[in-house]
A and B are shown apart, each in its own frame.
Chain A
């Protein structure tokens, strides 16, 4: 019950935010919400299935480039972009996953990283298609059939686009909430806890890992599609392995044992990065120290402090 009240409060706050916060801060909320969607998916794999992917930037990049390619070819409906990004993410993950889910622990992580690097190199080298290291522009998308080209860029982003992203995040959270509390979600947790025993109970470990991988990639691609419009540009660093590392960092920062932990991690990551960068140029140094401290002193992440870890 307390959890529901907090959730309702947070949601009300998010809805009211553009009215009270400076446009600069509201703009920072846009990547947060995109990462929120991405991390809900990543945590299905990490927190619920027990697999750490170091290659999820592949799917994020795929979603982001879907937005770039489609908007520059005349398809500007964000619904169409999101759906195609989801489909491409699922397709890529279905193929990559067949190989990856046969391995666990470091081998799984390295294999996902390797496929991520392949895609990164593709983006970098296929200049004609992807713009190479300079990336591609993302034109302003059309939201729910409404052409908002008349608005200034900031007004568009802190207004309609903000609420669109919030809507996607809420929908993504609701869908993921259902998934982790379903019989399917329970099967994933048996695999995380003890694959041998899971198989003895008739749960096909590789098949279920593959399902989780594909679902998490869909979320990553959808979130990735939302990342491009605010900056108006996508580039290959979105698919680079350090970006995958940042995603894992956000999950650890917020706490993978909790449903909303990774979303909180994304929030803190983005605003902390902004704050630290405005003071010192060495934000990676500061973040490295924070990561080390979390792993050693607070393996439950921020949510571990705020609430009892929620295994179910």
Chain B
């Protein structure tokens, strides 16, 4: 058990009508941890993400972030508390530049959104912070490119980078390497883990299908199956569990 978990879900149930998407899921993430959530399609991963990020309120049980109940509080309140997320399907602002996208995150974090008459351009601190994050993600030389013009891989990085620019304590990455070519996946992960260290992120949760990525980077793996936690162990522990390997991962030939 972890002494004081950052994020703590207890006996979370989520019902859609008669269908039980999550059936008593418990998991906690402590400071310094990199936790991966895996599971076959329909295991309840998407529902779990939505419950963990306050998009959905659980039907039973609770989700606490730094001791505070975050069930259904919504994305805006969640970022204020210090949790950010990226999306499985890339979410960008097509007509904003890389710099503007990151500036928007910095403006939001610093609570400057209601500065109606301040000049964004002459706000050096916001720009410096935004460029810093662009640098961490190797996007600095494309700072003035519009997001719609970026190659797919850079769009993915920008989505994650803007979440990092909020300087959250914990970040939830929904399939961070989906849509990234196999050859680039490790490079993308290295960038993200490096940036996390630089920014002082306390914990990372990811949902990921690529088992090389999952086993290569996780401190702990939570395997979901049919709305229940099948296993919650270190990568070595998961590998040793024949039942989990059979149902969730599938055997390698």
The segment out of A116-124, A178-186, A242-250, A282-290 that lies at the interface is: A178-186
B137 CB to nearest chain A CB (Å): 15
One of B76, B96, B108, B166 near A311 (C-beta < 8 A): B96
Q: Are B108 and A202 in contact (CB under 8 A)?
A: yes
A4 CB to nearest chain B CB (Å): 15
Contacts of B114 in A (CB 8 A): 184, 211
Closest to B148 in A: A193
In the complex, B196 has a CB within 8 A of chain A: no
Interface residues in B, total, Cβ within 8 A: 40
Interface residues in A, total, Cβ within 8 A: 28
Q: Are A182 and B118 in contact (CB under 8 A)?
A: yes
Q: Are A208 and B75 in contact (CB under 8 A)?
A: no
Closest to A211 in B: B114
B154 CB to nearest chain A CB (Å): 16
Q: Are B115 and A184 in contact (CB under 8 A)?
A: yes
The segment out of B3-11, B18-26, B87-95, B207-215 that lies at the interface is: B87-95
In the complex, B126 has a CB within 8 A of chain A: yes
Q: Are B119 and A189 in contact (CB under 8 A)?
A: no
Closest to A189 in B: B96
Q: Are A186 and B120 in contact (CB under 8 A)?
A: yes
In Å, the complex CA distance between A209 and B77 comes to 17
Closest to B97 in A: A312
Given contacts A181-B120, A199-B74, contact A193 B108 (CB under 8 A): no
In Å, the complex CA distance between A182 and B109 comes to 15
24 A–B contact pairs at CB < 8 A?
A179-B116, A182-B119, A183-B115, A183-B118, A183-B120, A183-B123, A184-B115, A184-B116, A186-B103, A186-B104, A189-B93, A189-B95, A189-B96, A192-B95, A194-B91, A194-B93, A197-B87, A198-B93, A199-B74, A202-B79, A202-B105, A203-B76, A211-B114, A311-B96
The 3 closest A-B pairs by CB, nearest first: A202-B79, A193-B93, A197-B91
- Taking Cβ atoms with an 8 Å cutoff, the residues of A that contact B are 175, 178-179, 181-187, 189-190, 192-194, 196-204, 208, 211, 311-312
